[in-house]
C-alpha cells in the first residue's frame, strides 16, 4: 500500500512536471509569436474589397512582425469554403480570416454549415467599413436611382444583378434594396466582387450594389455608372456620388464591414497581441490614408467589442435573409 502510494506520488510529480514544461513552452510560444509565416485567408476571389483590405493588412503586419504575412484566396459558397478552412485550422494564430458581413449572414442562409458560426471563431478586430454603391452598365437607359427602380418595375425579372454570391455583402445590400423598393431582379452570383464587376462589364449582368473599393475605379473610368451609395451621408472618398436617400430611396442603409477572425481556442494572449498590432496600424496616419483611398472608414476596438458586434450582425442580417426569402444557390 505504501509502495503504491509512493508510485502515485511520483507519478503525480512527473505529471505535474510535464504540465509545467508544456505550460512554459506555451507561454514562450505566445511571448515570441509570431515565429513563422502568417496566412490571411480571404474567402473571395482577388480584386474585391476584402482582398484589397487583406493585402493592406498583410503588408503592414509583415513589416511589424518581420515575418511573412500572405493572403490566401479561397473563394466559394459566398465565403463559406474559406471560413471552414479557418475554423478547422490549428488554433495557434498562424491562420486568420479576413471577411465581411457574409460570415454573419450565412448562419441563417445555409440550413447546414460545416462549422458553428457563433462558436468556431475568435473575433480579433473590426478593421473598418465602407458604404456600397448602386452601379449599372452605361448601356442601361437610366441616370438616377429612381429611374432604375422605375425600369425594374416595368421589367420585372428582366434586369440581372451581380453579387459576390448568395449571402455575400453585395447580395445582402441588393436584397435590402429590393425589399424597400418592391422590385424583382434576376440574381447572377460570382465568387467575389472582382469577377462580379467583370460580369457587368461583359454584359452578363446590368447592375450591382457593391462596396466602394473595387467599384469606384470603374465608375471614374466611365465603365460603370453610379446611381447612389448606401450610406446616410456622402462618402469623403467619392463626394460626387449622391446617397440613395438623396435620390429619394429611403431605408437602404448598408455598410460592408471588414473583420479579422481566428479559429476558436486561440490563446487569449495571441488574440490580444494581434488586436494590439492591428489597432496600432489603425492609429497610423499612413494606414488610415491607405484605407481612405479605398473608401474605407477605420473602426478598431477590443476583441470583446467586435465579438458583440458580430453576434448582433448575425441577428440583424438573419432578419434580412428571412424577410427576403433568399435561399442558397
DSSP codes joined into one string, 84-124? HHHHTS-SSSSEEEEE-THHHHHHHH-SS-SS-TTTSEEEE
- Residue 62 C-alpha cell reads as 509583415
CB 300 within 8 A of CB 279: yes
The model carries a pTM of 0.83
What are the residues whose beta carbons fall under 8 Å from the beta carbon of 232, sequence distance 6 or more?
Answer: 243, 245, 253
So what's the pLDDT on residue 11? 52
Q: Is the pLDDT of residue 47 over 60?
A: yes
So what's the pLDDT on residue 2? 44
Helix pair 193-201, 212-220: axis angle to 10 deg = 30
Q: Which CATH number fits domain 36-130+256-324: 1.20.140.10, 2.60.40.2470, 3.40.190.150, 3.40.50.300?
A: 3.40.190.150
CA distance to 126, 141, 158, 227, per residue, from 147 (Å): 36, 8, 15, 9
Q: Is the pLDDT of residue 50 over 80?
A: yes
Phi, psi torsion values for 40, nearest 5 degrees? -105, 110
With helix as H, strand as E and coil as C, how does 125-158 read?
A: EEEEEEEEEEEECCCCCCCCHHHHHHHHHHCCCC
Q: What is the average pLDDT across 141-148?
A: 96
Burial 244-282 (b: 16+ CB within 10 A, else e): bbebebeebbbbbbbbbbbbeebbeebbebbbebbbebb
Give helix then strand counts, H and E, for the chain.
11, 10
Residue 226 per-residue DSSP state:
E
> Is it true that 36-130+256-324 and 135-229 share their CATH fold?
yes
Alpha carbons within 13 angstroms on the beta-carbon side of residue 254 total: 33
Give the residue extent of every domain in the chain: 36-130+256-324, 135-229
So what's the pLDDT on residue 25? 41
So what's the pLDDT on residue 75? 92
So what's the pLDDT on residue 76? 86
CATH class for the domain made up of 135-229: alpha beta
- Residue 113 C-alpha cell reads as 454549415
Residue 242 per-residue DSSP state:
P
Q: What percent of the chain has pLDDT over 90?
A: 73
Amino acid at each position: 500500500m505504501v509502495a503504491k502510494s509512493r508510485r502515485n506520488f511520483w507519478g503525480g510529480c512527473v505529471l505535474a512536471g510535464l504540465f509545467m514544461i508544456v505550460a512554459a513552452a506555451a507561454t514562450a510560444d505566445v511571448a515570441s509569436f509570431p515565429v513563422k509565416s502568417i496566412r490571411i485567408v480571404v474567402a473571395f476571389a482577388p480584386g474585391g474589397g476584402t482582398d484589397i483590405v487583406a493585402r493592406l493588412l498583410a503588408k503592414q503586419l509583415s513589416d511589424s512582425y518581420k515575418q511573412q504575412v500572405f493572403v490566401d484566396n479561397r473563394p466559394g459558397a459566398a465565403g463559406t469554403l474559406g471560413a471552414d478552412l479557418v475554423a478547422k485550422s490549428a488554433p495557434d494564430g498562424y491562420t486568420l480570416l479576413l471577411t465581411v458581413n457574409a460570415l454573419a449572414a450565412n448562419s441563417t442562409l445555409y440550413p447546414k454549415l460545416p462549422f458553428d458560426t457563433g462558436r468556431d471563431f475568435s473575433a480579433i478586430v473590426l478593421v473598418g467599413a465602407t458604404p456600397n454603391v448602386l452601379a449599372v452598365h452605361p448601356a442601361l437607359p437610366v441616370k438616377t436611382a429612381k429611374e432604375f427602380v422605375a425600369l425594374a418595375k416595368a421589367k420585372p425579372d428582366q434586369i440581372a444583378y451581380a453579387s459576390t454570391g448568395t449571402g455575400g455583402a453585395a447580395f445582402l445590400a441588393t436584397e435590402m434594396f429590393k425589399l424597400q423598393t418592391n422590385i424583382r431582379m434576376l440574381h447572377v452570383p460570382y465568387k467575389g466582387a472582382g469577377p462580379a464587376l467583370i460580369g457587368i462589364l461583359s454584359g452578363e449582368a446590368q447592375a450591382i450594389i457593391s462596396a466602394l473599393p473595387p467599384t469606384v475605379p470603374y465608375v471614374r473610368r466611365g465603365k460603370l455608372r453610379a446611381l447612389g451609395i448606401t450610406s446616410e451621408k456622402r462618402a469623403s472618398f467619392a463626394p460626387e456620388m449622391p446617397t440613395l436617400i438623396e435620390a429619394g430611396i429611403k431605408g437602404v442603409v448598408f455598410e460592408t464591414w471588414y473583420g479579422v477572425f481566428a479559429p476558436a481556442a486561440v490563446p487569449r494572449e495571441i488574440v490580444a497581441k494581434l488586436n494590439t498590432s492591428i489597432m496600432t496600424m489603425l492609429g497610423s496616419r499612413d494606414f488610415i490614408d491607405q484605407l481612405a483611398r479605398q473608401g474605407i472608414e477605420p473602426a478598431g476596438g477590443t476583441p470583446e467589442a467586435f465579438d458583440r458586434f458580430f453576434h448582433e450582425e448575425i441577428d440583424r442580417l438573419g432578419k434580412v435573409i428571412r424577410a427576403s426569402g433568399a435561399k442558397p444557390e
